Copies of this chain bind each other. A is one copy, B any other.
């Protein structure tokens, strides 16, 4: 959907149905015919993006937690795999850049209609992340686990959110840079593992970012 690209970059208010129609060589009236209204089209785009970028790995890991929850080394690996999935979903070329940016707009300004979609598509992942972290540190209460989820998501989201700003800073690498993605993955995972006082996997042992 070409609409998403415009919504992502200029917001709902900053995008006109006319611009959307022009971008995909369609008719203004046709857009309204298919989607009812601009507002509704926005919701359709959001649902599409959230479906595309859903993360399942935390839920998968929780489904077979008995295989790893008692081994701190495997807990650390679980963290790694979860961070890896999120970076794949948002940073790599799997999805166009505007997917992430739509997500950011949604987080910044959620309407009740938007929240229904998030409750269905986003919340389960956050819930899984929370319980996964609780598995890594048995006895951790919900409030503290939420802080850990916030820390993880915050670090990752920041790169999408502030991408345009960071790009203007001289000497910074682009988010599409493969080596940069790997550095972020390694860095964030290490912070989480060290913070949760889990054993550091050998493949994450000290190795400084290149540039």
Q: When each residue 94-119 of chain A gets 1 if its CB lies under 8 Å from chain B and 0 otherwise, what string results?
A: 00000001001111111000010010
CB <8 Å contact, B143 and A150: no
Residues from chain B with a CB closer than 8 A to the CB of A115 are 165, 168
* Closest A-B pairs by Cβ, 10 of them: A154-B158, A13-B14, A13-B13, A143-B209, A154-B155, A147-B187, A191-B195, A107-B162, A143-B211, A154-B154
Residues on B with C-beta less than 8 A from A156 are: 154
Number of copies: 2
Contact with B along A3-14 (1 / 0, CB 8 A): 000000111111
Instruction: Give me the interface of A with B, judged by CB distance under 8 Å.
Output: 9-14, 101, 104-110, 115, 118, 123, 126, 140-144, 146-148, 150-151, 153-159, 161-162, 164-166, 168-169, 171-173, 183-184, 187-188, 190-191, 194-195, 197, 208-211
B164 close to A161 (CB less than 8 A): no
Q: A155 and B150: CB pair below 8 A?
A: yes
Q: Report if A208-B144 is in contact (Cβ < 8 Å); known contacts: A150-B155, A154-B154, A161-B157.
A: yes
* Residues on the B chain within 8 Å of A159, using CB: 150, 154
Q: Is the CB of A143 within 8 A of B13?
A: no
Q: Which residues of B contact A155 (CB under 8 A)?
A: 150-151, 154-155, 158
Query: Chain B residues with Cβ under 8 A from A143's Cβ?
Result: 173, 183, 208-211
Q: A165 to B195, Cβ gap below 8 A?
A: no
CB distance from A7 to the nearest CB of B (A): 11
